[in-house]
Amino acid sequence: MIPQENAHLRYACQLVLPGFNVEAQQKLANAKVLLVGAGGLGCPAAQYLVAAGIGSITIVDDDVISAGNLHRQILYAQHEIGRFKATIAAEKLQLQNPFITINAVIERVGADNVMELVRHCDIVVDGTDNFDTRYLLNDACYLLKKPLVYGAIYQYEGQVAVWNIATTDGKRTPHYRDVFPSVDATMVPNCAEGGVLPTIAGIIGCMQANEVIKYITGIGEILAAKLLMLDVQTLQSRIIQLQPASHTVVEALPKPIIAPEISISTYKANIAQYFLVDIRTSAERAFAHMGGVHLPMENLKDNPQLLDQEKPVLLYCASGKRSYELVKILQQVTDTPLYSLKGGMKAWLEA
């Protein structure tokens, strides 16, 4: 625990805020926050939560730093490429504030561990970039009655909301499935594929941290039953008012559908064994490709017979996200062994 005299120095600027006092600071010190994803959103969110004095922060991420992360994932440096994000983030954040507890968990969040991770925290911050994990976190928070701070970015736009807040009448505010019942993940590119302005990651990540601080201290009005949308090209924002209470019941965690993946090193060692298929758009392929047959994703979804081959089929895209989702869909309608290239073109170029 930080000595009281040092606390007044470290947190002096927030302690003098109207409505913010030592009691509010103590609430932050007693809080336990789970941050899932140490990427574009997780980095700024974590930095401000640490600076504000959150007592315990657990950072969960199983990914390593790559060159393509550095323009928006501001905790990392060139010489740290290849190291685990959670480890580097925890090391640097602990230096920023040595008086709090920061834990790094190098695991992929899945149905086998999500309940245990969520159970021990007061609030969850969603810094993920894939829909499987986003729905999984949402459902775990619903089942355990934990609030979830949602953030999403794409190109020049961002979204923020706080899901699953207890109301005075014993109900809960809307959660992710109330607003987005289902998403075709193959049709929604992530940052590596669709692009993202780095500053939108910082803005939305800071907004997520802001919602956490407001929730813990009870200061201000949190974004419950609301969805904030921001366009950084025009700096126009709007808040969409949602229904006051959730109407979507989650009875259990979704049954995971796993797509088999092949790493770059495995593919390079066994190139002749696979029928390689590029599922990206024509514009993406014209920019760069690693060979193989070009069968755009939209064509394959309607014509899975195009993948009837004697060899196992290996699909690739820009980052491995679209190919992974497509394999999950197509493996249910074809007997041909299908694989997704882990990391996609991004991993190929970096290798």
CATH 3.40.250.10 residue window(s) in the chain:
261-350
CA dist., res. 61 & res. 104, Å (int): 8
Class of domain 4-241 as given by CATH = alpha beta
pLDDT for 4 equals: 55
Burial class (CB in 10 A: 0-12, 13-18, 19+), 208: buried
pTM of the model: 0.84
Residue segments in the chain with a per-residue pLDDT below the cut of 50:
none
Paired strand residues for 101: 56
pLDDT digits (tens, 9 = 90+) for 146-202: 999 999 998 999 999 999 999 988 899 999 999 999 876 555 566 566 678 899 999
- 274-297 per-position pLDDT tens digit: 999 999 989 889 888 999 999 998
User: What is the pLDDT, as a whole number, of residue 198?
Assistant: 92
* CATH code 3.40.50.720 region(s) in the chain: 4-241
Residue 166 structure tokens: 């207890």
Superfamily of domain 261-350 in the CATH hierarchy: Rhodanese-like domain (3.40.250.10)
Q: What pLDDT does 195 receive? A: 76
As annotated, the active-site residues are 191, 317
